[in-house]
Chains A and B, each alone.
Chain A
Amino acid sequence: MKLTIKAGLQVSLPGPPVQRVVPSNPIRTVGLLGTDLPGVRAELLVAEGERVAAGDALFRDRKRPRICFTAPVAGTVSAIDLGEMRRLSSVAIAVDGGDRRHFDIPARLDRGAAQALLLESGLWPSFTARPFGRIPDPGSAPDAVFVAALDTLPLAACAQVVLAEGRADFALGVTALKPLTDGPVFVCQAPGSAVVAQDDKVLCVEVAGPHPAGLVGTHVSRLFPLHGQRSVWQIHYQDVMAIGALLRSGEIAGERVIALAGEGVRQPRLVRLPSGADLEDLVRGEVTEAPMRVVSGSPLGGRPSRFLGRHHWQVSVIPRAAASPRASRLGRFAAPRKPPPVIATAALERALAADIPVMPLLRALSVGDTETAARLGCCELLEEDMALIGYATGAAQDFAALLRSTLDALEPSR
């Protein structure tokens, strides 16, 4: 199957990565972040100072206790930070040793066995459910699974390069996805890169076009629109490779290949890191002198963070935004009291490849008209799909946050 995205924006930024895995600084700390747990209230299972092996559970969801979050590496729990209302902010592990917990791999992988294995090993939170972008409920089954086996974000790692080293693991991982759904497993890949064999359940889709051609929101909207009670789960190809590695070895790999790139990186390249790597460790000595900021995720939708985010596959080092030149007293007095309005341009229309009229959607989101937003199809979208719109409008408003509050308002009614 082929899918050509005619819309999209070519965002060219300085400092693209060399598509080759080159060693990085040693990572001494890894951390799991509370911001990666939408809708999860964490219940801690370890205390500060405790030793954990790779694959040991660190905390679990209070409401759905089968969902647990495991240590990607062996080490000592060095810090547990609680934020507002005692919600988990981060759990940090000082890396040492190589103890790995072994998981028993069931001989026959039916739905129950596959779910149990993924839940126990902490790979279950690799899935994000649409609509609403939550970690799916254990025991539920989606109408389809989407694997994004391409990455069109600016400065991202090329999926083909990363997959070349773990093709067998990826194929094994896809077999574990099949029992999870009664519907199809869509594997969306770059043109000309047969990453996995197609069969009656696995549908390979060649997606061509500029960003946002690689976003699952685009694929869902074009291939499997969400209407009625439909839901889909999405998973990143490297998470599929991690599932494959677990099935092969019975152990958590806990590593991922990410792009370390951007204007401020001396040697932009791919690096192999533990999940949740400490970005301070990573960029020490790698960044140029000019004032830069280190962002977990893409230059479009990433966020400044100490640790690499759960769903981030690149670290971008980009120039700090210059201070506003109009910070004078007169300027402050006359400062606009509302965010600047969005003007409809062709760039804005190209920023959303889903089958949704952009300006009406943005209007509905900015005035909080959840009903219209839902009728237009906002349930197919997640924050990541709004990042390019933020770019195309010159960051007029934080549409990702507006979409999140709209989705939160819609969630109870479904």
Chain B
Amino acid sequence: MIRGVWSRDTIGWVIAVALLPAFAVLLLEQGVPAAQRMVLALAVVLAWQALFRFSAGVPMSPTAAVTAVAVALLAPGEMATWQLVLAVTFGSVLGEAVFGGWGRNFLSPAVVALAFMFISFPEVSHPPAGPWIAAACAPAALLLLATGILSWRVLAAAVGSLVLTALALDADVASLTRLGGVAFGLVFLVGDPVAAPTTAAARVLYGALTGALTAYLGVRFGALGAPQAIVFAALLASIFAPLLDHAGVAAAVQRRRRRHG
């Protein structure tokens, strides 16, 4: 009869609002070039969303903004316009629209777009984002945790495992607090409620897997904050998310059976 507020669209808008601090910091730090990249990426995503909406009835989503900010923030290198358009198209169409829009996809379109970019155009170098971005992600994380959109299990497991793995690999742990890209990735890409698994145990495993992969790949790519590290970690972990969920469900069923005979 009556409806609660947590419909798909409301959740999408809350995520878009949570992006605002990072968006503002990005504009202040990098100015016009960042704005250009964001506007271009947003225009491409919205164009594809509109096309799929009218041709196939796939609902649009305010999470288009996540892709736009993520692309501008995690891939700030000098890229040609066609490269950006191609990568965002790939992410938006193959990561989201073909599955039926945000909520039915299983990978974050931003992650797919960025992974495509890093693989296809490896010659472009991307400097890591700074500490102000990390600071801007704190209120976003608080908002998303308070509204129950971001799972605290995912975030806690990811941060814990990131620190532990970095320690084990002798990386510079003190620099972790300044990793803007990693913070943004954990909150908006890894913590995307659609890409993350849904059972409690699977969420912990998923978070731990992402954290460990981020630290390991970070060391491999030469710096803990390398944007490639968090993007590929998020990609791999979310590919494993359905499997982890399957295991989580099997464990729940098993627990039921043990408890009830």
CB within 8 Å of B: which residues of A?
9, 11, 13, 225, 227-228, 295, 298-303, 316, 318, 321, 333-338, 340-349, 355-360, 372, 375-377, 390-396
Instruction: Tell me, yes or no, whether B174 is within 8 Å of chain A by CB.
Output: no
Could you tell me if A357 and B261 are in contact, using CB atoms closer than 8 angstroms? no
Min distance, Cβ B33 to any Cβ of chain A, angstroms: 33
Q: Digit string of B221-256 for contact with A (CB within 8 Å is 1, else 0)? A: 000000000000000000000000100110011001
13 sampled A-B residue pairs with Cβ under 8 A:
A227-B256, A299-B1, A334-B53, A340-B8, A341-B102, A343-B149, A343-B194, A345-B147, A346-B148, A360-B245, A377-B256, A390-B3, A394-B8
Across-interface contacts of A375 in B (CB, < 8 A): 253
Could you tell me if A225 and B1 are in contact, using CB atoms closer than 8 angstroms? no
Q: Digit string of B118-152 for contact with A (CB within 8 Å is 1, else 0)? A: 00000000000000000000000000000111010
**A227 vs B9: C-alpha distance when bound (angstroms):** 38
Across-interface contacts of B200 in A (CB, < 8 A): 357
Across-interface contacts of A391 in B (CB, < 8 A): 2-4
A393 and B193 contact, Cβ closer than 8 Å, known pairs A336-B59, A359-B199: no
Min distance, Cβ A152 to any Cβ of chain B, angstroms: 16
Q: How many residues of B contact A (CB 8 A)?
A: 42
Interface residues of B in 190-227 (CB under 8 A from A): 193-194, 196, 198-200
Could you tell me if B103 and A340 are in contact, using CB atoms closer than 8 angstroms? yes
Could you tell me if B6 and A347 are in contact, using CB atoms closer than 8 angstroms? yes
Could you tell me if B4 and A357 are in contact, using CB atoms closer than 8 angstroms? no
Apart from A300-B2, A359-B199, 17 more pairs, CB < 8 Å = A9-B4, A225-B256, A227-B260, A298-B1, A299-B1, A302-B1, A333-B54, A334-B54, A336-B58, A337-B56, A341-B100, A341-B101, A343-B149, A343-B194, A345-B147, A346-B151, A377-B256
Could you tell me if B7 and A394 are in contact, using CB atoms closer than 8 angstroms? yes
Closest to B196 in A: A344
Could you tell me if B3 and A395 are in contact, using CB atoms closer than 8 angstroms? yes
Across-interface contacts of A333 in B (CB, < 8 A): 54
Could you tell me if A299 and B253 are in contact, using CB atoms closer than 8 angstroms? no
CB < 8 Å neighbour of A376 from B58, B103, B249, B261? B249
Min distance, Cβ B173 to any Cβ of chain A, angstroms: 30
Could you tell me if A340 and B59 are in contact, using CB atoms closer than 8 angstroms? yes
**A225 vs B260: C-alpha distance when bound (angstroms):** 7
Across-interface contacts of A316 in B (CB, < 8 A): 1
Could you tell me if A394 and B103 are in contact, using CB atoms closer than 8 angstroms? no
Could you tell me if B199 and A357 are in contact, using CB atoms closer than 8 angstroms? yes
Across-interface contacts of A393 in B (CB, < 8 A): 4, 6-7
Instruction: Tell me, yes or no, whether B11 is within 8 Å of chain A by CB.
Output: yes
Instruction: Tell me, yes or no, whether B10 is within 8 Å of chain A by CB.
Output: yes
Across-interface contacts of A345 in B (CB, < 8 A): 6, 11, 147-149, 193
Across-interface contacts of B11 in A (CB, < 8 A): 343, 345
The interface residues of chain A, by DSSP majority, are classed as loop
**A373 vs B151: C-alpha distance when bound (angstroms):** 24
Query: Which of A335, A343, A349, A372 has its CB near the most chain B CB atoms (within 10 A)?
Result: A343
Could you tell me if B193 and A343 are in contact, using CB atoms closer than 8 angstroms? yes
A392 and B1 contact, Cβ closer than 8 Å, known pairs A336-B57, A357-B249, A375-B253: no
Query: Which of A225, A349, A360 has its CB near the most chain B CB atoms (within 10 A)?
Result: A360
Min distance, Cβ A120 to any Cβ of chain B, angstroms: 36
**A356 vs B11: C-alpha distance when bound (angstroms):** 24
**A395 vs B1: C-alpha distance when bound (angstroms):** 8
Across-interface contacts of A376 in B (CB, < 8 A): 249, 252-253
Min distance, Cβ B198 to any Cβ of chain A, angstroms: 4
Could you tell me if B252 and A392 are in contact, using CB atoms closer than 8 angstroms? no
**A344 vs B151: C-alpha distance when bound (angstroms):** 9
Query: Which of A11, A301, A344, A375 has its CB near the most chain B CB atoms (within 10 A)?
Result: A344
Could you tell me if A348 and B249 are in contact, using CB atoms closer than 8 angstroms? no
Min distance, Cβ B174 to any Cβ of chain A, angstroms: 33
Min distance, Cβ B99 to any Cβ of chain A, angstroms: 10
Min distance, Cβ A12 to any Cβ of chain B, angstroms: 12
**A362 vs B149: C-alpha distance when bound (angstroms):** 17
**A391 vs B5: C-alpha distance when bound (angstroms):** 8
Across-interface contacts of B59 in A (CB, < 8 A): 336, 340
Could you tell me if A338 and B249 are in contact, using CB atoms closer than 8 angstroms? no
A394 and B2 contact, Cβ closer than 8 Å, known pairs A225-B256, A345-B149, A376-B249: no
Across-interface contacts of B10 in A (CB, < 8 A): 394
Could you tell me if A341 and B103 are in contact, using CB atoms closer than 8 angstroms? yes
Could you tell me if A357 and B256 are in contact, using CB atoms closer than 8 angstroms? no
Closest to B198 in A: A359
A342 and B148 contact, Cβ closer than 8 Å, known pairs A295-B1, A391-B2: no
**A144 vs B57: C-alpha distance when bound (angstroms):** 49
CB < 8 Å neighbour of A396 from B2, B8, B57? B8
